[in-house]
Amino acid sequence: MRTLLVEESLSLRALMRFALQGPDVEFVEVDLHSDPAAPPTCDVAIVGARYPVDSSLRMVAALAASHPRPAILALATDPRPDRIDKLTAAGADCVLSLPFTPDQLRRAVAESLEDR
């Protein structure tokens, strides 16, 4: 499973790598401000959705438009319904609120992949 991590926090990226590590998992990391027009090919993408949220929305939309389309999880520090609605409208399959446990992340990834 090729997993794209789009998150500014080094500690949060380390937690995600720990939670999802396995023999068939490859991690690719990009900066949230990298060019959303050319996202790397992946099976699952985890996108940090902090302020400014516009960068997150652009990255989620670019991933949703890519082929093949990955499962997309957005991480929200502010789980207000209007922010969650914007992320899902942009293409996120799941919005996971911070803080989360490694088990919650694994379940969210598994559920998103099952829907594919």
Q: 53-92: per-residue pLDDT in tens?
A: 788 899 999 999 998 999 999 999 888 899 899 999 999 9
* Domain that includes residue 33, residue range: 2-114
At residue 35, the pLDDT reads 72
Name the domain count of the chain: 1
| CATH code assigned at 96 | 3.40.50.2300
Mean pLDDT of the 31-52 span: 81
What do you get for the CA distance between the two ends of the chain, in Å? 13
Q: Are 83 and 50 in contact (CB under 8 A)?
A: no
What value, to the nearest 5°, has the Cα angle with vertex 8 and ends 92 and 111? Answer: 30
pTM, rounded to two decimals: 0.92
